[in-house]
Amino acid sequence: MLILCALFSAATLAISINFVLQARRWVAGHAIALGRVVAAPSALDDDIRLPRVTIRFQIPDGSTCELVHEPQILGRAYHVGDAVPVHFDPHHPVEDAGVATFAAVFGGPTIGITLGLCGLAGSLAFGIGAHLYPGLAGP
């Protein structure tokens, strides 16, 4: 069981590090613009999801683009007129744009790395404890 826990934690850690590297490449290949929230519902929809906000931003060639963003459950609340940083692909600004917050880009991988490290530390501590105190590991 200890080996399975360590393997699962190591796999979680490796996958999360891969996601961090992909997120860094995504950010490095994108431009950033300051957008403005132009539409933000004042109440939750009938379903469980958070309300979507519409963000308008301008790309270097002068064109205006809009991004529909669904905030994260622990993310900030957006109001009409709020300034929001937007990452976008200069070649495909409408299809590949996103709000440029740490949580949006690196939130998932950060949680995965934390869980992976905690799992490895727990497996290591349990393994050392079972080796030093064999009676605690059970029959």
| Cβ contact 120:9 at 8 Å | yes
| Cβ contact 98:69 at 8 Å | yes
- Mean pLDDT per 10-residue section of the chain, whose length is 139 residues: 72 78 74 88 55 87 87 70 88 81 68 77 73 63
Joined together, the tokens standing for residue 119 give: 């799992």
Residue showing tokens 């991004």: 67
| Cβ contact 55:36 at 8 Å | yes
pLDDT at 18: 77
31-39 vs 83-89, strand pairing mode: antiparallel
pLDDT at 138: 56
Helix (H, G, I), strand (E, B) or coil at 87: strand
pLDDT at 93: 85
| Closest residue by Cα to residue 98 from 69, 57, 131 | 69
The predicted model scores a pTM of 0.56
